[in-house]
């Protein structure tokens, strides 16, 4: 009884203690928890719970999945016109295949990196582009070249044809997605998603001034520091290169005028009052140079004894104010070579080079800014099917663009040898690749689905130009901004899709090609390579026959004078008949030799022209047969 009474008393005391807290509005007592787990077990459980969380959808159609070491971006792109979406190029930070699960989970729970990535840390911007854990800004500062991509808006023709916008731009993450419509062998439609990362990415709502402030404005200081700066616009015909460089009105100026405005502002400073601004403007068309400020007079680039390239005959105009500079640019652009293409009625078919030079009172070069509005890049398969003039233009343009890419890559990687002799374009820009030089590339792309292949080619060109140097402190930094090129990239295809699709050995992951398609691509590649070789031969032979023709004309004029003198002497009986006949025979022999030599060169040139024409026709027939088989 005593024990029972004592238990009742203890229970009454417990109830008495609980009553005041309940009357005061406190929360009811919590349920008892299980014994506390160890710190390692708790950490492991938290990591597992993070992995099991579903993907978080971010703005712009981006899905964030996994951890920092397996961070990827996904886009849900399911248009009605296409079938399933195959994500072949997730944006990920490379990891080793041997990384164990515990190490991965530990990196997942890193608060500093995850907060930095998600913008939770107040000391960092809300969006930071990361490449293998290295911020994009850190990599960009170490490079001599900056690459940006600009997307133009859909035009009226594309809207009338119900074209689809296949590009997604994420400026804060420096990335752009291209959703390429594809068709499998079994005629199933699907979409491949390609992602690229660059220093800057601009949507169709961006302005010329915004692009200038981010990319080109920092280069103005370079020329005042006795350096050379280069800014060039690259892209397919009709993507807005000339609009970016030239603008469309005084209220919407291009990079030419914006840079000139800041240059003249710097000239006001006392330390730069001894400098003057000189402007030259020329174009490179068909491998030849023409002065746009001097009636398209033909120019000739030569190297002096010091290896410096000098353009003989190039006219430089002194400009004391911005208005004079604007007038010269407008005058030169009006006589620039243009032509009609399938993408643009008034397409620029030449490379326009505007030079703004700073010179001292003693006419010594202080610094130079070169602006290049490149001709529209085209695929070899497209140029072959055009008329001969367009084919020759396209081949020469592509050759010069390839040489420019190699020079810029060599510049960024600090190579000792720079292949500037590859084309006239790189030859005249030699000083832009030497010494204290900085370069900005603006890649212009079209959002239309019909231009998808051109857009991908432009981005791949820009990607290869921007091949980043490895950071000694970060051995894992990748060298390529194009996501499918990443090594050790984990597979992201679903289980069902993996069953339906066999692995591919082609460069593009997951792409299925039938034996017939492989053979057709091989034949097409061989025909394009042969055509490129023929075009190079045509350009060389054209230069040779042009020089031979001029030489023949000079010789003909000289021999005509000798004919007249000989005839006068014979009429005046100042020479004998034998002397007259011998000299006349010598003149006729030299005329005949010159004609035969020129005629032989014409025959060789005609043979090359015919071979190029036949190859173009064969290629067109080959494309028709390929389309009929499909």
Task: Judge whether 236 is annotated as a binding position.
Answer: yes
* Residues ≥6 apart with Cβ < 8 Å to 530: 615
CA atoms of 192 and 183, how far apart (whole Å): 10
Residue 581: Cβ within 10 Å count:
12
Cα R_g (the chain), whole angstroms? 34
3-state secondary structure of 381: helix
Using the 8-state DSSP alphabet, how is residue 413 labeled?
A: T
The two beta strands, 276-285 and 351-359, are antiparallel
Task: Judge whether 502 is annotated as a binding position.
Answer: no
Beta bridge partners of 471: 474
Burial category of 40 from C-beta neighbours within 10 Å (exposed 0-12, middle 13-18, buried 19 and up): exposed
Query: In which element (H, E) is residue 105 found?
Result: helix 101-108
Report the b/e string of 179-206 with b at 16+ CB within 10 A.
bbbbebeeeeebbbbbbbbbbbbbbeeb
CA atoms of 196 and 180, how far apart (whole Å): 13
Q: Where are the beta strands (DSSP E) in 325-411?
A: 338-339, 347-348, 351-359, 365-373
Residue 355: Cβ within 10 Å count:
20
Task: Judge whether 142 is annotated as a binding position.
Answer: no
Q: Secondary structure of the chain: what % helix, strand, coil (to 5)?
A: 45, 20, 35
CA atoms of 13 and 7, how far apart (whole Å): 10
Query: In which element (H, E) is residue 182 found?
Result: strand 175-183
Task: Judge whether 307 is annotated as a binding position.
Answer: no
Do 429 and 406 form a contact (C-beta atoms < 8 A)? no
* Residues ≥6 apart with Cβ < 8 Å to 462: 147, 149, 196, 198, 234, 441, 443
Residue in 592, 573, 595, 594 with CA at minimum distance from that of residue 584: 592
Do 55 and 451 form a contact (C-beta atoms < 8 A)? no
Using the 8-state DSSP alphabet, how is residue 36 labeled?
A: P
Do 375 and 238 form a contact (C-beta atoms < 8 A)? no
Angle between helices 388-412 and 452-465 (to 10 degrees): 30
Task: Judge whether 237 is annotated as a binding position.
Answer: yes
* Residues ≥6 apart with Cβ < 8 Å to 55: 63, 64, 65, 74
Residue 394: Cβ within 10 Å count:
24
Task: Judge whether 260 is annotated as a binding position.
Answer: no
Residue in 218, 589, 511, 483 with CA at minimum distance from that of residue 369: 218
Task: Judge whether 363 is annotated as a binding position.
Answer: no
Task: Judge whether 230 is annotated as a binding position.
Answer: no
Using the 8-state DSSP alphabet, how is residue 26 labeled?
A: P
CA atoms of 231 and 372, how far apart (whole Å): 6
Residue in 409, 370, 483, 441 with CA at minimum distance from that of residue 150: 441
Residue 8: Cβ within 10 Å count:
9
Residues forming the annotated binding site for ATP?
235-242
Residues forming the annotated binding site?
235-242
């Amino acid at each position: 009884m005593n024990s029972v009474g004592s238990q009742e008393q203890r229970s009454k005391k417990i109830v008495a203690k609980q009553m005041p807290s309940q009357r005061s509005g406190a929360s009811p007592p919590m349920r008892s928890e299980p014994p506390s787990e160890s710190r390692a077990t708790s950490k492991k459980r938290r990591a597992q719970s993070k992995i099991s969380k579903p993907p978080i959808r971010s703005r712009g159609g981006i899905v964030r999945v996994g951890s920092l070491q397996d961070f990827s971006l996904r886009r849900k792109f399911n248009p009605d016109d296409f079938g399933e979406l195959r994500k072949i190029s997730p944006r990920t930070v490379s990891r080793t295949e041997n990384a164990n699960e515990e190490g991965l989970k530990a990196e997942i729970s890193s608060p500093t990196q995850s907060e930095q990535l998600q913008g939770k840390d107040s000391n960092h911007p809300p969006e930071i582009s990361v490449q293998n854990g290295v911020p994009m800004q850190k990599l960009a500062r170490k490079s001599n070249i900056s690459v940006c991509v600009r997307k133009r808006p859909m035009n009226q023709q594309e809207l009338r044809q119900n074209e689809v916008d296949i590009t997604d731009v994420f400026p804060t993450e420096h990335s752009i997605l291209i959703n390429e419509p594809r068709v499998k062998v079994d005629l199933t439609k699907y979409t491949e998603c390609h992602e690229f990362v660059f220093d800057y990415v601009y949507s169709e709502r961006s302005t010329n001034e915004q692009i200038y402030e981010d990319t080109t404005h920092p280069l103005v200081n370079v020329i005042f520091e006795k350096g050379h700066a280069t800014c060039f616009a690259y892209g397919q015909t009709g993507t807005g290169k000339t609009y970016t460089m030239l603008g469309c009105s005084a209220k919407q100026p291009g990079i030419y005028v914006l840079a000139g405005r800041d240059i003249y502002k710097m000239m006001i400073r006392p330390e730069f009052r001894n400098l003057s601004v000189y402007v030259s403007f020329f174009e490179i068309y068909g491998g030849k140079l023409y002065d746009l400020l001097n009636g398209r007079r033909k120019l000739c680039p030569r190297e002096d004894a010091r290896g410096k390239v000098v353009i003989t005959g190039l006219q430089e105009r002194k400009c004391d104010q911005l208005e004079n500079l604007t007038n010269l640019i407008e005058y030169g652009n009006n006589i620039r070579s243009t032509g009609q293409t399938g993408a643009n009625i008034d397409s620029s078919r030449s490379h326009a080079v505007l030079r703004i030079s700073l010179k001292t009172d003693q006419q010594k070069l202080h610094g130079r800014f070169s602006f290049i509005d490149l001709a529209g890049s085209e695929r070899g398969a497209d140029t072959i099917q055009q008329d001969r003039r367009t084919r020759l233009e396209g081949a020469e343009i592509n050759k010069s663009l390839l040489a420019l890419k190699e020079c810029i890559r060599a510049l960024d990687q600090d190579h000792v040898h720079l292949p500037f002799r590859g084309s006239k374009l790189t030859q005249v820009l030699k000083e832009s690749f030497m010494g204290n030089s900085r370069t900005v590339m603006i890649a212009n792309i079209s959002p239309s689905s019909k231009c998808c292949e051109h857009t991908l080619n432009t981005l791949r060109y820009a990607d290869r130009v921007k091949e980043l140097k490895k950071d000694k402190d970060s051995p894992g930094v990748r060298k390529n901004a194009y996501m499918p090129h990443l090594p050790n990239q984990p597979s992201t295809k679903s289980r069902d899709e993996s069953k339906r699709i066999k692995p591919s050995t082609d460069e593009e992951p997951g792409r299925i090609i039938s034996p017939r398609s492989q053979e057709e691509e091989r034949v097409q590649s061989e025909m394009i390579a042969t055509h490129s070789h023929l075009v190079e031969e045509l350009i060389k032979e054209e230069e040779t026959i042009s020089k031979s023709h001029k030489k023949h004309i000079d010789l003909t004029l000289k021999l005509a004078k000798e004919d007249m003198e000989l005839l006068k002497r014979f009429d005046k009986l100042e020479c004998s008949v034998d002397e007259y006949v011998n000299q006349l025979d010598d003149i006729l022999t030299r005329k005949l030799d010159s004609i035969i030599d020129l005629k032989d060169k014409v025959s060789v040139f005609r043979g090359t022209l015919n071979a190029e024409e036949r190859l173009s026709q064969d290629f067109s027939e080959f494309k028709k047969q390929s389309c009929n088989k499909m």
